[in-house]
Amino acid sequence: MDIAPRSGGAVEAPSLLAYDRDHINELLTALARLDQQMGQPVPKRHLNAGIVGIEIAPEMVVEAGRALRDSLGFEMLTCISGVDMIEQLEAVYHFRSISHFWLLQMRVKTPTSDARIPSLVGVYSSANWLERETYDLYGIQFIGHPDLRRMLLDDEFEGHPLLKSFRTTPSVVHDRATTQVDPIRAISGEQQRKQERTVLKRLGQGQQERIHPGMTTFGSEAVFLETGQGVGTDANAMHGYTIDEQYLDPASKPQEE
């Protein structure tokens, strides 16, 4: 159906075939072929919005993906999402059959301590970036992926930000609140002298905040020498950069007569 109606033509009503009960039952019946090819029953359930869900073991992902494409007519892998269930990670795949108007969800569970799932890039080319994104945010290793590396965050980024165990800043142990000590110590600031200090960080990366994950941290002479960005000395300054006196080497300052 066209997104915009043609000039002078009648607006075609959207098809609700995907939500029809008999149409969904046809998909459930067709999935019986998947049981035969897997050699064991595949758990199935009817989800909302006309979607049927199945659950596959990690070691059978490639075989199941090939069966969905070749035997059942699912031409498209449209999405791969990650879910952190704390004790396990889950990869959720969504397939679409354009010819049959079928929607299918495949759920794969893997241990959090060793999250490894075979890659579907050899079966569905769209899995390339979808698996890279899920790896970047959840840390799931897709075995056999031709180029499994980060695509949203820096290569040197530590951790995976959508995991529930991810922390943006280190844990800090504070002294007791000032209301729990005598007023003299609270006013003098003695209570804060033994407090552990931390440097604010963006997403827990580096000792200095970055303007953007892809930009170099400013304020370092070593970074300036390497990239030409930030603050440098007189000898290394580039046009358009301001020299801040606090970063100059005392030995390089002109001696007062």
Q: For residue 144, what pLDDT is reported?
A: 95
Evaluate whether the domain defined by 17-143 bears CATH number 3.40.30.10.
no
Between CA 104 and CA 121 the distance in angstroms is: 18
Q: Look at residues 114, 101, 107, 151 and name the one whose alpha carbon lies nearest to residue 129.
A: 151
Please report, to the nearest 10 degrees, the dihedral formed by the alpha carbons of residues 144, 135, 171, 214 taken in order.
110
Averaged confidence pLDDT in the chain: 77
Between CA 197 and CA 96 the distance in angstroms is: 52
Between CA 132 and CA 130 the distance in angstroms is: 5
Q: Of how many residues is the chain composed?
A: 257
**pLDDT of 248 above 90:** no
> Which parts of the chain are beta strand (E)?
44-46, 51-56, 76-84, 88-97, 102-111, 116-118, 141-143
Provide the 10 A C-beta neighbour count for residue 99.
8
Domain boundaries, the chain: 17-143
pLDDT digit string (tens) for 98-148?
989 899 999 999 999 999 999 999 999 999 999 999 999 999 999 999 999
Q: Look at residues 43, 41, 61, 64 and name the one whose alpha carbon lies nearest to residue 140.
A: 61
pLDDT digit string (tens) for 64-80?
999 999 999 999 999 99
Q: If you search the block for the tokens 């704390």, which residue do you land on?
A: 86
Hey, what are 188's tokens? 């003098």
